[in-house]
Amino acid sequence: MPTNLLDSQDVRAEKPVFLVNIMEIPKLNTRPTLRPQVTATCITYPQLSPTVNEVRVGMAEMRIENKPIELVTSVGSCVALCIYDSANRCGGLAHIMLPNSAIAPQDCLPGKFADTAVPALAKAVREVSGQEACLSAKIAGGANIFSSLNGTGPAIGVKNTEAVKAALNANKIRLAAEDVGGSYGRRVAFNVQTGVVVIRFSNGEIKKL
Amino acid sequence: MNANMAHSKTVTSKDSFTELDILLEIGSMGAGHATTSLSKVLHEPIKIEVPRVHMLPPHLVPEIYEKHDTVVATVFMQLRGTADCDIMLIFEEEESKKIAELMIDEVAEGEATPEMERSAIEEMGSIVLCSFLNAMADFTLTKLVSTPPQLIIDSFDSIMDGLLIKQALCSEIAVIFDARFKRYDSSTEGFLITFPSDRLQRKLAEKGKKWLNHENSAQNGLPPDLVDCDLGSVKARM
């Protein structure tokens, strides 16, 4: 006797299983005012503001997408690197923590260090697009939040920014825009289809790159 | 919490007795004192959760708090000298404003200016963190010298990442001591988060161990001078 009923060919032949992706069914808000208005001729849906799904990218993480979503991360001294392929409308975001992977063990996360994240992210974006890619990069972050943390020499945020720029240069990727430095955190939202990066500061200010 | 949190570890008092347990005990005592002083400053009862010690890779730390873009007011202090340590007292922005109001109402009439609020929060943070440090220093007979408090108002993740970068530079695993507390009629909790360095952990463990041995020997009827601190067994278990 099969352990799983679906493994049996007979059952499958008699009762075809319809797989429905629940995520693809548009969600309706259950509030009464937003229910579809049934009129004599057709059903009209109330106009909802177009929202894009947000996916959070954690520290030292790297994520590549070609669906219409926003990749979101929050950076202080870290650097958010967005690489966009304008030819195929896809892109990826990496949350870079440290400038140099020399201190890391062999099996480190590629998204953690500037010198490994740039080539890894560019390669991954090229793989997703599958064709001739036209890559450009936007970076944000590299702030200096704790003024009392610094010893001598440049702050870690500045080092991170410089390391990312150097790595972009070495990998021949154009830096399209940047918003770096300062002493405040940034919430970075990268729309992978349009390539627009929206930066929100903690005081509510918004800046588009 | 996601799947790659599986290899992280949260120490509670039920685990085997290690250096981290000593840290947890000493920290809990400090957190208790800190809560008492906060309660005294605000003239309000404060609820506190059982403190915890987390051990996990630095980049996974934001996942355990899940505050991400919440704007928080953080009072930050750093221990100087051999016992390097970062200490933070974190309240959500709204909550910190209420705390500031409570403090200012006692001494001044009328509307509080933003500068007064900032100063009040900084003062409150300084009182709470110093009583935390005092309790730890008194118990272990160590000298803990801190920098003046620095107030930062920003989103939780961006505040944490500066400190986590520092942790990531030192080691693959960050050790965090955290205590959470709440005002009696409030819905949001405040955090006391500490990143003790290896050296401070060792120092505290050494003192704690000495103290424990002293207790044991007193029970066995041996004079305390004859019992040496045995740190070797503690290190072997780490």
* B164–A97 C-beta distance less than 8 A: yes
Residue B186 and residue B95 in contact, taking contact as beta carbons nearer than 8 Å: yes
Is the same domain home to A143 and A126? yes
Q: Nearest Cα to A148, choosing from B59, B29, B76?
A: B76
Domains of chain B (ranges; CATH) run 3-226 (3.40.1550.10)
Tally A–B CB contacts below 8 A: 95
Is the same domain home to A112 and A172? yes
Nearest CA in chain A to B1: A58
pLDDT of residue A151: 64
Positive/negative CA dihedral, A55, A56, A61, A62: positive
Low-confidence stretches of chain A (pLDDT < 70) are 1-51, 105-107, 149-153
Is the same domain home to A193 and A100? yes
Residue B97 and residue B124 in contact, taking contact as beta carbons nearer than 8 Å: no
Q: Nearest Cα to A203, choosing from B225, B104, B69, B53?
A: B69
In terms of residue numbers, what domain contains A113?
Answer: 53-208
Q: Nearest Cα to B235, choosing from B213, B202, B210?
A: B202
* A103–B169 C-beta distance less than 8 A: yes
Per CB-CB distance under 8 Å, the chain B contacts of A94 are: none
Per CB-CB distance under 8 Å, the chain B contacts of A56 are: 68
Residue A137, both tokens: 């990069």
Per CB-CB distance under 8 Å, the chain B contacts of A59 are: 58-62, 157, 161, 164
Q: How far apart are CA B221 and CA B202, in angstroms?
A: 28
pLDDT of residue A170: 92
pLDDT of residue A28: 46
pLDDT of residue A51: 65
Per CB-CB distance under 8 Å, the chain B contacts of A143 are: 158
| Number of independent structural domains in chain A | 2
Is the same domain home to A204 and A123? yes
Is the same domain home to A170 and A92? yes
pLDDT of residue B17: 59
Per CB-CB distance under 8 Å, the chain A contacts of B153 are: 202
CA distance A60 to chain B (A): 6
pLDDT of residue A87: 87
Q: Who among A59, A74, A98 is closest to B69 (CB)?
A: A74
Q: Who among A97, A149, A186 is closest to B158 (CB)?
A: A186
End-to-end alpha carbon distance in chain B = 26
CA distance A30 to chain B (A): 27
Is the same domain home to A36 and A66? no
Is the same domain home to A121 and A143? yes
Identify residue B166 by its one-letter amino acid code: K
* B162–A186 C-beta distance less than 8 A: no
Give kind and range of the element (H or E) at residue A115. helix A114-129
Characterize A173-187 residue by residue with b for buried, 16 or more Cβ atoms within 10 angstroms of its Cβ, and e for exposed. Answer: beebebbbeeebbbb
Nearest CA in chain B to A98: B165
At A79-109, the pLDDT tens digits run 999 999 988 888 999 999 988 888 776 667 8
Is the same domain home to A88 and A128? yes
Q: Which of A106, A202, A205, A206 to mutate to test the interface with B (most CBs of B within 10 A)?
A: A202
In this structure, what CATH number is given to the domain that contains residue A69?
3.30.1330.200
* B168–A97 C-beta distance less than 8 A: yes
* B166–A185 C-beta distance less than 8 A: no
* A112–B161 C-beta distance less than 8 A: no
Is the same domain home to A74 and A38? no
Residue B74 and residue B161 in contact, taking contact as beta carbons nearer than 8 Å: no
Asked if A109 reaches chain B (Cβ–Cβ under 8 Å), the answer is: yes
Q: How far apart are CA A109 and CA B120, in angstroms?
A: 42
CA distance A75 to chain B (A): 5
Is the same domain home to A97 and A164? yes
Q: Nearest Cα to A58, choosing from B179, B86, B5, B169?
A: B5
Identify residue B205 by its one-letter amino acid code: A
- Can you give the pTM of this predicted structure? 0.76
Per CB-CB distance under 8 Å, the chain A contacts of B164 are: 59, 97
pLDDT of residue A204: 84
* A103–B69 C-beta distance less than 8 A: no
Per CB-CB distance under 8 Å, the chain A contacts of B155 are: 74, 185, 187, 202
CA distance A109 to chain B (A): 10
Q: How far apart are CA A23 and CA A21, in angstroms?
A: 5
Is the same domain home to A125 and A190? yes
At A54-83, the pLDDT tens digits run 889 988 889 998 888 899 999 999 999 999
**pLDDT tens track of chain B, all 238 residues?**
444 444 455 554 444 457 788 888 888 999 999 999 999 988 889 988 889 998 888 888 988 888 888 899 999 998 877 778 889 999 998 899 888 888 888 777 777 788 888 999 999 999 999 999 999 888 877 788 888 899 999 999 999 988 888 888 888 888 899 999 988 888 888 899 998 888 888 888 887 777 777 766 655 544 444 334 444 443 443 3
Is the same domain home to A199 and A175? yes
